[in-house]
Structure 1
């Protein structure tokens, strides 16, 4: 297999991880088509079309490769989980799938029990082996080799990967479960080696263990395959684990409809029935689903279009029924002029920011200055002093949200309980509250670097990002920085992680996937999932270790404040604004749309949607 690190752009992992937004034919795929008497209660004539910006690429949202919102919104409808957030961002257990109970605080012990109605779409019961597999994959306990990458994100030790055990995942929370979990009937028990503040979102259901084992071990019978997988994990069978890891990491990555229906087996209300690369993906109601989150629409099709105004036009033309494009004043004005729509403006859980490469041989890397870290740091600081954060907000965001303000925290949303305290500690508002061209020039003169070219990565097809780039470019030029667009290798999202040698600064957004206090760990810890920049500070790592076990909100605020102070002192980057949002839908096709600020945004509560009179295909 060829492994590359894929971008996590608008990303969901069950643990605290920020994430990176035609005509249909005959139904295909696991679980059979929907449109017969098996789908009691579902109007098999109903269909809903939704515009989305990035195409699906993986059904394994817990792998490093698949951990992206573009995948998670699909699997949110296709798979069941032990819990989900409600509209008020409270965690709610789906008892029709299973329950969990804290058995003990010392040591932290959690028991998960699958419900009788928890079932995969091929008729096999979901059960403890599925969660045991996720523990094996995400804990890192069995990995005996790690992928090594070149600057373009290509694996350079492929032979070692193929010969060893390599689960393409990293979950610090699951790594705290050091002892092999115990299975008892329909239950599995996890014992943490130390307390963990966000244990409720640490691990959840993902891939079907029986199918992973069937594919990896060549066992046809589902029950026998499941037993073999459990034995491989509990007995640490290296030969079998190597095969299991390869299948878990690779097989559920696909950019069009796979030929093998095993890869389309799901545990939730929908199956993937059609998928045309870069064009659309159709979900069809799963006739084998027995839970409480029953599908309202027989078919839901995601039609991929990254152009916000293109989505508006598609909605006006009746090609799609629901959109939530990146908001601009032009988008909002155009939507408000269309009859028959419900249009809502809101604040999203995504924030804009600029990060800088520190280990790619570029202008912000100490290696460029003979290993002089202080010199590279001052060049980074100089660049950050030129970024006109307030102008960006006033010119591009205030027309949509008059109350918009510059965001000054890496971990907290403006207005949240910890925001003011952490902003008071981190120093971002003081250091980079206003553009300081003279200060930037002085820093560059001090280190003897009068002019610097900065290659900036951003989405060139995104109007707002293009406008931000131009504002930054013009400001930075006054201090001697020549800011140029990055050289596209594949696409900006994939290049974010795979082509790090081709850019020096990245302009994009992180989307919150949970309310977990440890969510930002994946961004700033050394070697973490979303840390694409080579940033490493042992004190930050130690602070996150401390945060994992801290349950006192005051102490959590102190720890995160210290983390952010290091990020500012190290000139990691800057935050700019919280995304304004706009959502619009055709009220004759769909009702009761309840977008939430974190992933899965507009897909939240799809089982509570209502189908309008015009919802028939």
Structure 2
């Protein structure tokens, strides 16, 4: 066992779900062949990777499918125009196509699909696939702002997604005559244009299913016509299928629902247990599979995964880091362990639209009283105690994070965190000061606060145990609401506070916009501040770094002033793999974390 330092990311929202087991080995003969290859230093024919939440959607561009559990699998199934490497550098992959800025005024970006790009059913890929991604994420074709049931729109158009930049393309994108080139013309500059658009789900399948057309080309033509004519009657069923048609929890009978354009194909999927990916024989791009078969098994218990690694049932996994997990891994002889700090950060959210203690509705619409109650809660919340007790034993250099928008260590962190004033506003857990705030607000305790906690997540349980007595001194009665389905319940209004992790998926300055703007994809607390909305809109069209930082400082200060919650710490990271089976594992700090670099995986490294 060796320990190495890294910087890796965990998951966007750590969810507790059903335990599982991997499929049995095909034969003793295959096992011996694998062993011979490993001994020769070659990559094994098959490996098993552990994860904590099962896959459930092939479309991770929807608000419901936007989860790391889906994106890590889709990352291996579908090709991309770009990705981030282990140094958070944006890398272009030209296997399926290219893109370039052809004008600054107006901002114009031209995408060209490679001539030989093909879906695994044999249908050529073209700019129609990119057009579908644009239509799905821009919101420009929606006829309603939201839908209670996105699977039955009743003739209305609602693509259940959002993007900070694509809405700025107000004119319908232009398709070339051969349907290989798509041109976006922005009405305003957009700072993150390079990461605004990528391939998503196949246009031909979406249109075939939505419109009931059997021929792939005919279906694509019908979709393009619907877009160009802004035909709501045709776009409505297409949107319905785009929203939910690619959601599944076991291998569908219809192979069109999980086509490949990347290095792997999905060949098996047992609900709640495992998904198996097999190398795509037709893929000839820049990131080919180095290992023929990858099985991802699901288990929410990291200590159980440690045991699976020791038993040879797992070859690679990235658990939520706790002292118990690290100590258990250190006892596994064949374990290679990498530890460090990742791009996910813990935060505490206070819900403002559920009639609970942080909602003005609880005080007859008195927003100022609700604000003071939130301020009191955050003033008592012992962020430093949490870091000292739970994180420093794993990462001795760990500190409280004091910014919603910027990661510690980033160039703008010091200035933005200082301008925001989170540390000054909330301190490190002062129950007496918090009680005084409640008294000044004329609010008597104890105030019941329902805290949503994943049923089997030890670190979140430990956090609750640290927080509860201190908040009780301040006048808050914290009620633990432990659920095995907590991840599915986020944002449903049935709790008052929750602590979980947001993961950075890119270096875009607009990445956090969806979390804090009114009605944003990740705005789970009902927060709304028109000034914040306007500043994020301004940030999106600002390209100068110093001006971006200035806007971020303004946003940060408003978020702190509004007492929406607070950040707590950066996740400590642990990646473990069987050094006797696999080598050259380099986890990335951004999504897809441990799945990054699958094309570089080899047999065991030399000691």
The question of a shared fold, defined as TM-score above 0.5 by the shorter chain, is answered with yes
- State the match for 1:469 in structure 2: 464
- Please give the alpha-carbon distance, in whole angstroms, between the structure 1 residues aligned to 2:482 and 2:506: 33
Superposition deviation, residue 20 in structure 1: 8.4
Mapped contact 2:317–2:576 kept (Cα < 8 A): yes
- State the match for 2:533 in structure 1: 541
Superposition deviation, residue 277 in structure 1: 1.3
Superposition deviation, residue 26 in structure 1: 11
Superposition deviation, residue 10 in structure 1: 3.9
1:239 maps onto 2:233 in alignment: yes
Mapped contact 1:120–1:267 kept (Cα < 8 A): yes
Mapped contact 2:251–2:270 kept (Cα < 8 A): yes
- Aligned mate of 2:559, from 562, 567, 576: 567
- State the match for 1:311 in structure 2: 305
Give the 5 Å matches for 1:105-184: 105-149=104-148, 155=149, 161-184=153-176
The 1:148/1:364 distance shift into structure 2, 3 A limit, reads farther
Mapped contact 2:108–2:183 kept (Cα < 8 A): yes
- State the match for 1:343 in structure 2: 337
The 1:124/1:274 distance shift into structure 2, 3 A limit, reads same
1:530 maps onto 2:513 in alignment: no
- Please give the alpha-carbon distance, in whole angstroms, between the structure 1 residues aligned to 2:257 and 2:24: 19
State the Cα deviation string for residues 172-196 of structure 1 (Å, max 9, x = none). Answer: 3111111111111321111111000
1:199 maps onto 2:193 in alignment: yes
The 1:97/1:261 distance shift into structure 2, 3 A limit, reads same
- SS state at 2:571 partner: strand
Superposition deviation, residue 412 in structure 1: 1.1
- Aligned mate of 2:294, from 295, 300, 306: 300
- State the match for 1:454 in structure 2: 449
- Please give the alpha-carbon distance, in whole angstroms, between the structure 1 residues aligned to 2:142 and 2:481: 35
- State the match for 1:484 in structure 2: 479
- State the match for 1:579 in structure 2: 571
- State the match for 2:545 in structure 1: 553
- Please give the alpha-carbon distance, in whole angstroms, between the structure 1 residues aligned to 2:112 and 2:398: 45
Q: What is the total number of aligned residue pairs between the two structures?
A: 575
Superposition deviation, residue 458 in structure 1: 2.4
> TM-score with structure 2 length normalisation?
0.91
- Aligned mate of 1:291, from 285, 288, 294: 285
Superposition deviation, residue 333 in structure 1: 1.5
Mapped contact 2:44–2:602 kept (Cα < 8 A): no
The 1:397/1:25 distance shift into structure 2, 3 A limit, reads closer
Deviates more, 1:228-237 or 1:358-367: 228-237
Q: Gaps spanning 5+ residues in structure 1: where?
A: 1-8, 12-17, 28-42, 150-154
Deviates more, 1:137-146 or 1:407-416: 137-146
Superposition deviation, residue 164 in structure 1: 1.3
Mapped contact 1:24–1:274 kept (Cα < 8 A): no
- Please give the alpha-carbon distance, in whole angstroms, between the structure 2 residues aligned to 1:545 and 1:91: 23
1:383 maps onto 2:382 in alignment: no
- State the match for 1:216 in structure 2: 210
Give the 5 Å matches for 1:318-329: 318-329=312-323
Superposition deviation, residue 121 in structure 1: 0.8
State the Cα deviation string for residues 326-355 of structure 1 (Å, max 9, x = none). Answer: 111121111122112211111111000101
- State the match for 1:441 in structure 2: 435
- State the match for 1:250 in structure 2: 244
Deviates more, 1:129-138 or 1:164-173: 164-173
- Please give the alpha-carbon distance, in whole angstroms, between the structure 1 residues aligned to 2:601 and 2:441: 59
Mapped contact 1:19–1:513 kept (Cα < 8 A): no
- State the match for 2:39 in structure 1: none
Superposition deviation, residue 312 in structure 1: 0.8
Mapped contact 2:44–2:582 kept (Cα < 8 A): no
1:427 maps onto 2:421 in alignment: yes
- Please give the alpha-carbon distance, in whole angstroms, between the structure 1 residues aligned to 2:316 and 2:151: 43
Deviates more, 1:445-454 or 1:519-528: 445-454
- SS state at 1:143 partner: coil
1:593 maps onto 2:592 in alignment: no
- SS state at 2:384 partner: helix
- State the match for 2:80 in structure 1: 81
- SS state at 2:490 partner: helix
1:270 maps onto 2:264 in alignment: yes
- Please give the alpha-carbon distance, in whole angstroms, between the structure 1 residues aligned to 2:95 and 2:428: 53
- Please give the alpha-carbon distance, in whole angstroms, between the structure 1 residues aligned to 2:96 and 2:340: 32
Superposition deviation, residue 158 in structure 1: 8.0
Aligned Cα root-mean-square deviation (Å): 2.0
Q: Gaps spanning 5+ residues in structure 2: where?
A: 1-9, 27-41
- Please give the alpha-carbon distance, in whole angstroms, between the structure 2 residues aligned to 1:445 and 1:470: 25
- State the match for 1:15 in structure 2: none
- SS state at 1:306 partner: coil
1:260 maps onto 2:259 in alignment: no
- Please give the alpha-carbon distance, in whole angstroms, between the structure 2 residues aligned to 1:508 and 1:86: 25
Deviates more, 1:138-147 or 1:386-395: 138-147
Superposition deviation, residue 45 in structure 1: 7.5
> TM-score with structure 1 length normalisation?
0.90
- State the match for 1:506 in structure 2: 498
